[in-house]
């Protein structure tokens, strides 16, 4: 066994942020980062956008060069999935070898939902968008004139559809819910992106489910619940993700919409912590699990602080983004429980402000970075804003911060 130290399982954004913060905080002991993928930690958001478009080189995806980890005396074990955790003796098993730890962090991320085998989900030519390998496998399919069917009208599916449309493919998006983005955005935001996709030639089909995928040796199309059939040279399934909790669950760690943690990132097992897409934490009387780069970094850094004794509660101020065509969507806050939408601006530069009564909850800003920044600062300050001022695009919002 190697010298026990801190082990981080999961070589994504959270894992990278966690080991970096530990070293910044002065931790000088043994530090190991273990990842199932064979490459160092990299950015995921550009995968379905700039990288898939061919506008970003592979080396620019990496969060840090491998030399940085060596310089920081961080042992990288990439392409080596952990097969077991034994909290009783504080070991993890990698490739049949047991490694001891004094503290363990789980940043195992999430896994894409797969289309059921019963509806043809195992046919060749069906892809998900989550890892670098996923994108590298599907990239050769993006040839002008080919036919793509995207199952799922969330951000991942729509981003892939936008890249395909820009590359000259014939694209259809199928969303079972009454509208795209229904789970995460107001009707106004859905309308904005539906119009953008349709303007780029994408067929957007809403309120219709997938009956089954067609083909024998390779996917050839999709039959929808209304009987219509769409031809397809390939299919992208963008039907959400699930927290990767199998390793934690097998070790007896409590699971509740992800790996259950307290306000400081501790799991139900001593000396084991969790951060990133895999972790759920207390929030406003319930539990919350956030799927975002910002949350992965902030929660991981909070865990690093608390591993070293700071005892700091994690208080998220969520923000997200999506790039589709020439639209940059920036989201601040969480819109859960809204009962009113206030619109600021119009056309290509517009923002939608979510209120519950008089309380500001969130902002969706399309090519409107100023509104996004003001809304984000208000939320960070715990303040609201007069809806009448928000709605008047001629009014400067900056005085709201005074």
Both tokens assigned to 104: 């363990």
Distance CA 64, CA 16 (A): 9
Average pLDDT over residues 371-378: 96
Q: How many CB atoms lie within 10 A of CB 89?
A: 8
List 174's β-bridge partners, or say none: 151, 205
Confidence of residue 1 (pLDDT cuts 50, 70, 90): very low
Over pLDDT 70: what percentage of the chain?
100
What is the pLDDT at residue 53? 87
Distance CA 202, CA 57 (A): 27
Q: Give 3-state DSSP helix, strand, coil % of the chain, rounded to 5.
A: 25, 30, 40
For residue 132, give the nearest of 70, 66, 40, 67 by alpha carbon: 40
**pLDDT above 90 for 84:** yes
Handedness of CA 83, 86, 92, 93 (dihedral sign): negative
Distance CA 13, CA 397 (A): 33
CB 174 within 8 A of CB 63: no
Cα angle, residue 332 at apex, residues 330 and 338 outer, rounded to 5°: 115
For residue 211, give the nearest of 115, 290, 129, 146 by alpha carbon: 115
Fold annotation for 326-401: Enolase-like; domain 1 (3.30.390)
Confidence of residue 2 (pLDDT cuts 50, 70, 90): low
CB 41 within 8 A of CB 35: yes
Q: Which tens digit of pLDDT belongs to each residue from 235-268?
A: 999 999 999 999 999 999 999 999 999 999 999 9
**pLDDT above 50 for 164:** yes
CB 37 within 8 A of CB 63: no
Q: How many CB atoms lie within 10 A of CB 358?
A: 10
Fold annotation for 5-111+241-307: FAD/NAD(P)-binding domain (3.50.50)
CB 219 within 8 A of CB 212: no
CA–chain centroid gap for 62, Å, is 17
Burial class of residue 349 (count of CB atoms within 10 Å of its CB; 0-12, 13-18, 19+) = middle
CB 248 within 8 A of CB 257: no
**pLDDT above 50 for 148:** yes
Domain boundaries, the chain: 5-111+241-307, 114-237, 326-401
Question: Taking phi first (over 0 means left), then psi (-120 to 50 degrees means alpha), and beta for anything else, what does residue 79 get?
Answer: left
Q: Which tens digit of pLDDT belongs to each residue from 304-351?
A: 999 999 999 999 888 999 999 999 999 999 999 999 999 999 999 999
For residue 173, give the nearest of 238, 242, 124 by alpha carbon: 238
Q: Which tens digit of pLDDT belongs to each residue from 185-230?
A: 999 999 999 999 999 999 999 999 999 999 999 999 999 999 999 9
Q: Which CATH superfamily is domain 114-237 in?
A: FAD/NAD(P)-binding domain (3.50.50.60)
Distance CA 218, CA 238 (A): 19
User: Cα torsion at 180, 183, 185, 191 (round to 10°)?
Assistant: 20
pTM higher than the cut 0.85: yes
Supply the mean pLDDT for the chain: 96
Cα angle, residue 334 at apex, residues 333 and 340 outer, rounded to 5°: 100
Same fold, 5-111+241-307 and 326-401: no
């Amino acid at each position: 066994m190697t010298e026990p130290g801190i082990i981080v399982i999961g070589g994504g954004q959270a894992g990278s942020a966690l080991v970096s913060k530990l070293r910044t905080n002065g931790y000088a002991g043994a530090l190991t980062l273990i990842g199932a993928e064979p490459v160092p930690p990299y950015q995921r958001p550009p995968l379905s956008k700039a990288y898939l478009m061919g506008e970003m080189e592979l080396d620019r995806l990496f969060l840090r060069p491998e030399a940085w980890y060596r310089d920081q005396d961080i042992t990288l074990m990439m392409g080596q999935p952990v097969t077991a955790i034994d909290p009783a003796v504080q070991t993890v098993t990698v490739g049949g070898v047991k490694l001891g730890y004094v503290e363990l962090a789980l940043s195992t991320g999430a896994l894409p939902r797969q289309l059921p085998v019963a509806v043809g989900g195992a046919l060749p030519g069906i892809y998900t968008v989550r890892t670098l390998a996923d994108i590298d496998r599907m990239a050769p399919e993006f040839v002008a004139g080919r036919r793509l069917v995207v199952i799922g009208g969330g951000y991942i599916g729509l981003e892939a559809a936008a890249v395909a449309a820009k590359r000259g493919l014939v694209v259809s998006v199928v969303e079972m819910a009454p509208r795209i983005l229904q789970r995460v955005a107001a009707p106004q935001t859905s309308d904005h992106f539906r119009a953008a996709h349709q303007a780029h030639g994408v067929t957007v089909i809403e309120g219709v489910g997938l009956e089954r995928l067609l083909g024998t040796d390779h996917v050839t199309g999709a039959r929808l619940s209304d009987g219509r059939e769409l031809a397809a040279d390939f299919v992208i399934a963008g039907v959400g993700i699930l927290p990767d909790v199998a390793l934690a669950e097998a070790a007896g760690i409590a699971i509740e919409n992800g790996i259950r943690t307290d306000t400081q990132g501790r799991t139900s097992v001593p000396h084991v912590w969790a951060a990133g897409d895999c972790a759920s934490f207390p929030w406003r009387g319930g539990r919350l699990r956030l799927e975002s780069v910002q949350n992965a970094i902030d929660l991981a850094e909070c865990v690093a602080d608390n591993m070293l004794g700071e005892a700091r509660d994690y208080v998220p101020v969520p923000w997200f983004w999506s790039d589709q065509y020439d639209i940059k969507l920036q989201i601040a806050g969480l819109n859960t429980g809204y009962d009113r939408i206030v619109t600021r601006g119009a056309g290509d530069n517009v923002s939608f402000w979510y209120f519950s009564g008089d309380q500001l909850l969130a902002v969706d800003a399309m090519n409107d970075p100023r509104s996004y920044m003001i809304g984000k600062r208000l939320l960070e300050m715990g303040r609201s804003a007069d809806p009448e001022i928000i709605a008047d695009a001629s009014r400067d919002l900056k005085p709201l911060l005074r």
